[in-house]
Structure formats: C-alpha cells, structure tokens
Amino acid sequence: PRARVLERDDLAVHAVIRSAWLRVPSDVEVRIDATAGLVHLRVAAPLALRARTHPRARAEALLAAVDAAVRAA
C-alpha cells in the first residue's frame, strides 16, 4: 500500500516506496539479469531516512522476497 510502481516490464520494476514512519519516499529499481542469473537492486533513500533506518537491511529483505518469488515460479 505504500508503493507506487512508476515503470515495469518483464524483467524490471521501478517504484517509489514510502517509509511507514515518516512517509519519506525511496526510489527502488529491481532488474532481473536472466543471462547472468542475477537480480540487481538499487535503492536511493534521502539522507534523513538513512540516518533513522537501515536501508541495507531493507534492501536485503526485498532481495530475499524477490528471490523467493522467482524460485517459486
């Protein structure tokens, strides 16, 4: 409910996700590189959000969810 997808295709998603606490937006891109067997993730969070949260942990949780969904498909 806090995510808004800006662009998507078969191998990529670009979205804005708002934090639960302050509703600060983070720009997120997920791209699947099927040839290399990789999922690329880019998260750009404002400096104010980085000071209060752990964006790396959030990014790793997102990658784990994407990995689980890909393996289940």
Q: How many CB atoms lie within 10 A of CB 48?
A: 11
> How far is Cα 52 from Cα 69, in angstroms, rounded to an integer?
29
The model's confidence at residue 56, banded by pLDDT at 50, 70 and 90, is confident
Q: What is the pTM of this model?
A: 0.67
> How far is Cα 37 from Cα 54, in angstroms, rounded to an integer?
27
69 phi, psi to nearest 5 deg: -65, -40
At 49 the pLDDT is 54
At 44 the pLDDT is 82
**What is the per-residue pLDDT across 19-40, written as a single tens digit (0 to 9) for each?**
777 787 888 898 989 899 888 8
pLDDT at 54 over 70: no
